[in-house]
Amino acid sequence: MKSSQYVHFFFSNEPLFFLEDLMTRQGGLLWVDKYRPKTLETLDIHPEWTEKLASLCEQGTLPHLLFYGPSGVGKRTRIYALLRQVFGIAIEKRQVEHRFLKVGEPPKEVELTTITSAHHIELCPADVGYNDRLVIQEIVKEIASSKPIELGNVHRGYKVVVLHDIDEVSKQAQQALRRTMEKYTSCCRIIMSAESVTRVMEPIRSRCLGIRIPCPKKEEIEQVLQKIAKKEGLVLPDCYANQLVTQSKGNLRKAILLLQVGRAIAYPFSQQQQKKNEEEEESWISSQETGWDWERLCYDIANIVIREQNPKQLCNIRNKLYELFCHAIPGDMIFRKITLHLLRMMDEEVAPQVCHWAAHYEYGMKRGSKEIFHLEAFLAKVMYIYYSHIHTQYSMAWMDD
């Protein structure tokens, strides 16, 4: 549903090669989906929540829930597992529908993808973009206000609306959700997922139980990787597993995808390890730090800024930025990555300034429309700061604006 989830993945070194391998040998299933835990008991990470969620279901008074945490930590998986616990096996019969709906006055046509089962409906209002308010006003309200149909013995008296990426929807849409959440609580529960709760308005937060899902610990990721490797009948050396864990930066989905890509490129894994060692040291470091190609490009950009500060290099950077945009990498991810790389390589003294300008220009980018301008302005600014820092021992660069 979230288009950006897999996009970074396909911009990897050997996409075609990998795809071929995927289709022929592995039955066309990504391991992330194949080994996605289906029930609460089989969830591998965050056991502390598992029991609590189970007891929430038992009570029969499931509150509205909001799962929040960084991407790739299993928010969605947890929601499915919870629904499975509440409604039983019936939830597994899911249907994906692309609908064209007419909403609003005058009617506008919006395209919406929904996933439905007998007991729940799942949608991502942010997909609709500008019209998300209308979707919430009409569709969600309509679903929420009708009573659930009785189905066998799993009747619960309520149904569930799952709204993904609630932090991406507009303020008006969130406003529209407020009273809906209260008015129809007798027959409908709303479960939401968000990456950043800061963008979810206070009134919504005060209406639901927030469940924070932090990044899994390194050992936890390693365990999951080993488990998958075992099921696939692979030998996963500790050092390679370690490397994957470092690259994933706490993102479990990324770790699993990397493992599968690694499998497609070369097996046994130890060969790969050696191949890396033979290459020159610098590129080895960069591959240690990064997973996908787009991340490596960000690393290159940061590297250029540190090495040389002149207009020529800025042009060079522009090409690389365009390459990133061509592959539909969102601007804020580029911003984050480049800033982190810069901070790691820079002198500590200028770091606070770089942080300030990063936040400043990223803010500009969110409000403006052309992402490239703001990224370039930021990089030019960093070049300037760094240049004056190197060339005058007692830098006064903080004085000019």
Partner 1 sequence: MAPSLPEELPWVEKYRPNKIKDLVYQQEAAQLLHNCLTSGNLPHCLFYGPPGTGKTSAALAFCKELFPPEIYKDRVLELNASDERGIKVVREKIKRFAQGSVSSAQFEGFPCPPFKIIILDEADAITPDAQTALRRTMEQFSKITRFFLLCNYVTRVIDPLASRCAKFRFRSLPMQLQVDRLRYIVDQEGIMVSDDILQTLTSCCNGDLRRAIMTLESAYCLARGSNITDEIINSVTWRVPDHVISQIDSNCLKICSSGENTLQFSELRNMAIEFINNGYPVSEIIYQLCEALIPVNHLNKLQKSVIMIKFAQAEKMLIDGSDELLVLMDIFGVLFQVYNEPDNVEKLIWLTRN
Kindly tell me the sign of the dihedral angle through the C-alpha atoms of 84, 89, 91, 96.
positive
Contact between 363 and partner 1 per CB under 8 A: yes
Instruction: Indicate the residue among 57 and 380 with the shorter CB distance to partner 1.
Output: 57
Least distance (Å) between residue 199 CB and partner 1: 6
Least distance (Å) between residue 253 CB and partner 1: 14
Instruction: Indicate the residue among 24 and 55 with the shorter CB distance to partner 1.
Output: 55
Which of 1, 77, 48 minimizes the C-alpha distance to 252?
77
Contact between 109 and partner 1 per CB under 8 A: no
Least distance (Å) between residue 299 CB and partner 1: 16
Which of 329, 232, 326, 237 minimizes the C-alpha distance to 290?
329
Instruction: Indicate the residue among 77 and 137 with the shorter CB distance to partner 1.
Output: 137
Size of the site for partner 1 (CB under 8 A): 75
The answer to whether the CB of 332 falls within 8 A of the CB of 195 is no
Instruction: Indicate the residue among 22 and 329 with the shorter CB distance to partner 1.
Output: 329
Contact positions with partner 1 (CB under 8 A) in 364-393: 366-367
Which member of 114, 243, 260, 353 binds partner 1 (CB under 8 A)?
A: 353
Tell me the C-alpha to C-alpha distance, in Å, between residue 314 and each of 295, 308, 369, 379: 19, 9, 21, 8
Least distance (Å) between residue 317 CB and partner 1: 19
Tokens linked to 159: 């149904």
Which member of 33, 281, 282, 401 binds partner 1 (CB under 8 A)?
A: 401
- Using CB under 8 A, which of the segments 1-9, 22-30, 51-59, 293-301 binds partner 1? 51-59
Least distance (Å) between residue 114 CB and partner 1: 19
All residues at 6 or more sequence positions from 323 whose CB lies less than 8 Å from its CB, including other chains: 297
Contact between 136 and partner 1 per CB under 8 A: yes
Instruction: Indicate the residue among 18 and 378 with the shorter CB distance to partner 1.
Output: 378
Largest CA distance in the chain: 78
HSE, side-chain direction, 13 A CA sphere, residue 155? 8
Range list of H helices, 308-350 = 311-326, 331-345
Least distance (Å) between residue 21 CB and partner 1: 32
Instruction: Indicate the residue among 28 and 157 with the shorter CB distance to partner 1.
Output: 157
Contact positions with partner 1 (CB under 8 A) in 280-319: none
User: In sequence order, what DSSP letters do the residues of 41-106 get, joined into one string?
Assistant: TT--S-HHHHHHHHHHHHHS-PPPEEEE-STTSSHHHHHHHHHHHHHGGGGG--EEEEEEEEETTT
The answer to whether the CB of 143 falls within 8 A of the CB of 121 is yes
Give the amino acid at 216. P
Which member of 18, 87, 294, 335 binds partner 1 (CB under 8 A)?
A: 335
- Peptide linkage before 237 cis (omega within 30 of 0): no
Q: Is 124 left (phi over 0), alpha (psi -120 to 50) or beta?
A: beta
Contact between 348 and partner 1 per CB under 8 A: yes
CA Rg value for the chain: 24
- Using CB under 8 A, which of the segments 25-33, 68-76, 80-88, 252-260 binds partner 1? 68-76
The C-alpha atoms of residue 14 and residue 4 are separated, in whole angstroms, by 19
Contact between 352 and partner 1 per CB under 8 A: yes
Contact between 69 and partner 1 per CB under 8 A: yes
Contact positions with partner 1 (CB under 8 A) in 143-172: 150, 155, 157-158, 172
Instruction: Indicate the residue among 309 and 353 with the shorter CB distance to partner 1.
Output: 353
Binding mask 246-285 for partner 1 (x = CB under 8 A): ---xx-----------------------------------
- Using CB under 8 A, which of the segments 64-72, 85-93, 306-314, 383-391 binds partner 1? 64-72
Instruction: Indicate the residue among 207 and 296 with the shorter CB distance to partner 1.
Output: 207
Least distance (Å) between residue 155 CB and partner 1: 7
Contact positions with partner 1 (CB under 8 A) in 169-228: 172, 175-180, 182-183, 185-186, 196-199, 202-203, 205-210, 212-215
The answer to whether the CB of 165 falls within 8 A of the CB of 126 is yes
Tokens linked to 168: 């991406």
The number of beta carbons lying within 10 Å of the beta carbon of residue 149 is: 9
